[in-house]
Structure 1
Amino acid sequence: MFLTEKDLVDLVAFRHDLHRHPEVSGEERETATRVEAQLAALDPDRIVTGLGGHGVTAVFAGAAPGPTLLFRCELDALPIPEISDTAYRSEVPGKGHLCGHDGHMAIIAALGRGLARRRPARGRVVLMFQPAEETGAGAAAVIADPAFADIRPDLSFSLHNLPGLPLGHVALASGPVNCASRGLRILLDGKTAHASMPETGLSPMLAVSRLMPQLTDLGRGTFPSADFAMVTLTHAVLGEPAFGIAPGRAEVWATLRTLTDAGMADLCARAEALILQTAAQERLALSYRYEDIFHHCENAPEAVAHLRRALSDEGIGHDETGLPMRASEDFGRFAACGPSAMLFLGSGEAHPALHNPDYDFPDVLIERGARIFLRLIDNILELSYL
């Protein structure tokens, strides 16, 4: 066991501290400061801050040349109020670590403790604490940051806890494991009128009433078939909250989801054709934009093979249960750097689901997650005691 009892106590306390002070995407300044303090105590060869926003990385280098391995976790929490009676529940109203990113940070911090005692014999290990995963903006911002060029990996790895799987069990598969998704925000503009004379205005009511079912009807295929497409209406507003005004403006939000990026391109084209046609028929001004853009996440066979070997070496059960999944993850963007793979670590079959207000990360997973990754590093780069 590479973590001592004191390590585990410290790491749980670190996780609980992060849990008490959640920060949402793009606002992770204090979280990054806490992470930096943890990493500085480990004396890595280099710490990079402000990466892609508030991202923080630590680099542990070996004496001999070799590949660079990146292990990524997420800094951000969610804009969801927490329902909990734990002593470490969120102290920030309306925000909570309800996806387990606090636990993922603790796992990568634990990995750092292992590397502080056993440096890689060759190559480099990059521990990345990435901002803004929940909006899909963080990975892209990190990769676009000029500072990323110096730590660009040859192989990238990550994990996510997953309620519904037995505690500590791992789901792992090659190929697509997370869907592509993006938010489509549609604005329709007509002309307001007095409610007694609606004919003098131009209402978007009929356009909205047609668009909502027609957008969802763009879905097709059965998940996880290659042609799977899904549209979920998430928000709609028509006019002003007043009885005396016939509406002149409407807004419709929808989430588009496909198994692959290629499927997303086709779904976007069909959605755009629909909204353009509908706006033209109703003589409405139209504008639309995409937000929260996630590429699909695809596990490369080479990277998966390294994870499978590490899991087998550690005697940790694993299969392909639940994969691929319809949820999205912005880790998929790291595939542009080289082979990458994400594993899913079971949080318990009856555990509250991710993004639920009563969710909490199981602390017992900290040691297991870090142990998997440390074994993988040892297999590829060889670890040696200082």
Structure 2
Amino acid sequence: MPRRHLTRVTVVDAKSLHERLVAAWRLNTTAPGPKEALLAAMEALLADARALGDPAMLFKVRVGHAYALRHEALEQGSARARSEMFAALRECVRFAYAEPELADRSHVKAMWTQLFIVLDWIIGTRPEPADRVRRLLDELDRHVPAGRPWTFTVGSARMSLEARCGNVAEVERIWRGLRAEWPPREGFRADRVATSKAIIWTRLGRHRDAIAALAPVLAGQVPRDETVAHEGALLMPYLHTGRADEAVAAHHRTYTRTGVKHGIVAAQLEFCARTGNEERGVEVLRLHLADIEDGCDSVDTMWTAAAAALLCGRLGRGWAELGERLHEQAVAFAARLDRLNGTSHAGASIGALLHAEPLHDRLPLPDPDIG
């Protein structure tokens, strides 16, 4: 009697998929090096989740798959992985609002956190063409009903994009809507959001708006992370609005901080360059020199490079080579950004900073040992 060749069939069920999903997420913290193991596990899970046909489980796995793609899509710059990541997150958003009773709340939160990171990346970190980003934001708007949680994500991203393009009237309109939802709900640190908006307004030359954006944080109306140098964002707004004493105090409390965002470093460098405090500026420059010399490849590093170049120009011959290199990097990135934006805003703004005149001949600063 001929032997029958039997094909082994693997039965996929929701319980085993859930266990494998938990194990896959654990790889994110236990597996050394790049996240290939996590991505491989999530890709296998995605195939089985599709075969199972359980929409709630498929949603959870898609969220995990999108996260697993992040290293390749963003940090390694793979256009293919970025396209896959966007596609996964789009499907997640559609499901979360079409079937809200089936979408696990913790995974909805993870989905929007990832979207916030991706949007921040393609707007400021590795900028993509403005029109392409607008289309993505428009699509998200269609899938996120007004008044639901997380609409703040789309609005905040849109404000950053329009600020990048110099569309001040549109930035104002969006900011009014965001203020109506203030403070932002779950998934956001209101103090960090306020600081980022203050930096946006400063770069647009709207210094009173920058101060107003950070007012709730400084007044203690929202929880504040004391490790973040929030006040550093207001150095130039304070100077431009005649509040030099407050600018000096804010500088003194924050200039020795390490690990701060480029926007704050840029503010410290510009403050020193434009108040006759070039020696203090050297301290700030040396503290962050490794990051500044690492290259100009984002909106924030563009502004930091320009502020550092301004300071180097005030310092004289010994800093000329560094200043020229940073000047060229900032101008080149601004030109690239203008091509992506379809405007001339970045070049004009960076040009103005590179040639900014002093606001004070010599603004006295406290001794470094005085608190």
Superposed pair shares fold, TM > 0.5? no
**Structure showing the higher strand proportion among its residues:** 1
Interval containing the TM-score (normalised by the shorter chain): under 0.3
TM-score normalized with structure 2 length: 0.27
TM-score normalized with structure 1 length: 0.26
Q: Which has the higher contact order (CA 8 A, sep 6+)?
A: 1
